Structure 1
Amino acid sequence: MSPNEIDRKLAVIFVADVVGYSKHMENDENATLKAYGKCETILNKLLKKYKGSIFNTAGDSVLAEFQSAVNAVECAVDFQNELKKRNESKKTEVKLEFRIGINMGDVVMKDGNLLGDGVNIAARLEALAQPNGISISKSIYDIVVPKTKVTFNDLGVQKVKQNTFHAYDILLDPSQKRKIKTQSFNITMITWHSSCNSHSIRWHILL
């Protein structure tokens, strides 16, 4: 492939992020890191089960790719259910909550990383999700709705910066049902690093 060619593919992108991670770290850094490690172990087992693979991380954020939209959704549901059990345990000192966003779209492959709107929208869906929640795009919804037993809540069209997309919540509990208007969210930035040929590369996603 010549330097001017762009290597693209269609992918299912899964983004998970800890709610209030900085605050947890300020309160007890060691306990938070230990708790995150346990949550990471749970996620890694589920990624293996559902054939997902991590292509990048950003501190407390995990970006993974799936070949199947159904597998990505089932992985997310199982992960949130496992975290709920963990947080309900009296033995759990630091109770971490995650938000998850899932999208299917065109992505650019570069140095082992995935970039582009397909990834950006997944990250924006994660920011849209509720604590302990999962938000998905219509591209995911259309595939999984006849193939899963989960309940969905239609959030309508959401606009984030220059991207407009139709979003849905996956309802793990009836109390998660909400109504939100079409809106633009504050712009934040997710930054992560990858290494290639001994050089550090920094990528940014604007939310």
Structure 2
Amino acid sequence: MAEVKMIPLAVNGGIGFGAKLTPKQLIALGTYLDDDTEVELTTFQQIIIQVPENKVEVATEELEKVGFSVYKVGPYVKSLRTCGFCQGAEEEGMPIAIELNKRIAGKSVPFTVRPAYTGCPNACGEPLINDIGVIKRKDHFELYVGGQAVGTNARTGVLLKDGLEPEELYELVDKVLEVYRNNGRKRERIAKFIDRYGFDALKKDVGVS
């Protein structure tokens, strides 16, 4: 009998007030786990499960029915890491975070991209040490690129542009990912890509003066 190919899926409870799951979600998740299965919980508020290749579509549909978001694992944009929105959904821009995640999560890129969002300058969502970081400051947004949390060359991201309206933010993030997708090398993180490609060249390509 041919060995069943297992496909990894990354699931989380969606963008909201912190990383929380409901009992209904846990029950649904358990249907895809054996008693001795180890479940990986990532720093990006995702749970990694293994599903038989022929059940990926059904599993995705059933998990989404109970409120999970399901993503591919590999060289894709990860789901948006967020802060806890301690001042409230509207004040800290949760609708913006949800829309940004919807637009970018799961997009193909040369190497895994970790985006993060925080609703105020306290930066609890750690946007400055991730590949793409967004900070809401009053009624506008700042976009940072090239942060890196690990390694001897760990560093904070560089401000690409501030004072952004929501639509400007979405468009600029899309442009950054497009430049990276078209010019990045396989397994080249955004930080290394910016070092090689040049921050000024990136700014020019995305239309930032």
Normalised to the residue count of structure 1, the TM-score between the two structures is 0.33
The structure with the greater share of residues assigned to strand is 1
Normalised to the residue count of structure 2, the TM-score between the two structures is 0.33
Q: Select the structure of larger CA radius of gyration.
A: 2
